[in-house]
Structure 1
Amino acid sequence: MELKVGDKIPHFTAKDANGVDFDSNSIVGKKPLVIYFYPKDNTPGCTTQACSFRDQYEDFKDLGAEVIGISSDSSASHQKFSSQYKLPFILLSDLDKKIRKSFGVPSGMFGLLPGRVTYVTDKDGIIQMIFDSMLAAKHIPKALAAIKKLVS
């Protein structure tokens, strides 16, 4: 079942790029979130998307928001990806695709690739915007505009 605007995001846990356990309860209820699901570390579109979030990360932080990237890559892959591109935000490993399924992220490219979907939530974890597009660079301005609207 796909989540919709107005739904509360499901609770989730995962390993971050350092292999440390992350619990969504540690952040939901405290600040707005940008949670983006992407297909794979070190692919052209995903690298463009991650670097665009990196380049505007301070804008998100200035608005009190946190950015979290999620894919089914391992923590070790995330560590390498994060370190290579100096990504300042949280990357989570969803090896069994449980988080992706709990959000109802659809597959892209005729079911051949895991989907690329960005969710923006308010500080209480209520979804305010969903952007589903394989066009990686389009996600960042959409997410930033949604966060600006939330905090204004």
Structure 2
Amino acid sequence: MLHKGEPIPSVTLEDQDGKIVSLSDFKGSPLIVYFYPKDNTKVCTAQACGFRDNYEQFLEVGAEVIGISRDSVASHRKVTNQRKLPFILLSDPKKKAHKAFRVPSAMFGLFPGRVTFVIDKNGRVAHTFRADFTADSHIKEALKVLKELN
């Protein structure tokens, strides 16, 4: 897993609309990059909805939120529309971002891990945390760290 102070990799993936998005485009502003196992599962949906429900607070501190999973563009489009998600979901079926961020697997390697990275305006990791079976702590912790960065 990337550690505090490390620069984030320049990864380019497709978003829920098939648009090409590069993480390096966000340099200059804080960023939340959260990796999650699967669209439309209980904990992942709770996490996405938590980021959605607190999205204005992230914007208030100048941060964008980006979710990444191995799901397809079509799956991301569906969940974005169903859950009215205002932020970007990136599709990583070839695990490019997962490998670049060194995201560990969960449950003995059976599932992709759940990791949130708080990125500072210089494109460096300010904080990381992992909780494979809970989602609430990711949103609260990310907001706390962002407020401390400001």
TM-score range (shorter-chain normalised) is over 0.9
Unaligned runs of 5+ in 2: none
Inter-partner Cα distance in structure 2 for 1:139 and 1:94: 21
Residue deviations 1:44-79 (CA, integer Å, cap 9, x gap): 000000000000000000110000000000111000
Matched, 1:35 2:33: yes
Match of 1:140 in 2: 139
For residue 97 of structure 1, what is the amino acid of its counterpart? K
TM-score (norm 1): 0.96
What is the aligned partner in structure 1 of residue 149 from structure 2?
150
Matched AA of 2:69: S
Aligned to 1:11: 10
Per-residue displacement from partner, 1:95-117 (whole Å, max 9, x unpaired)?
10010000000001221110000
- Aligned mate of 1:107, from 105, 108, 112: 105
CA–CA separation in structure 2 for the residues paired with 1:127 and 1:50: 21
TM-score under structure 2 length normalisation? 0.97
Does 1:24 pair with 2:20?
no
Q: How far apart are the structure 2 equivalents of 1:129 and 1:9?
A: 12
1:79 aligned to which of 77, 80, 100: 77
2:42 alignment partner AA: P
Question: Secondary structure at the residue paired with 2:34?
Answer: strand
Query: Partners of 2:84 and 2:91 in 1: how far apart?
Result: 17
Percent of residue pairs identical: 54
For 2:128 and 2:6, the matched residues in 1 are separated by 11
Q: Distance in 2 between matches of 1:136 and 1:121?
A: 19
Deviation for aligned residue 1:25: 2.1
1:97 equivalent among 95, 119, 135: 95
What is the number of residues matched between the two proteins? 149
Segments ≥4 residues shifted beyond 3 Å? none
Counterpart CA distance in 2 for 1:15 and 1:66 is 17
CA RMSD across the alignment: 0.7
Separation of aligned partners in 2, 1:75 and 1:109: 25
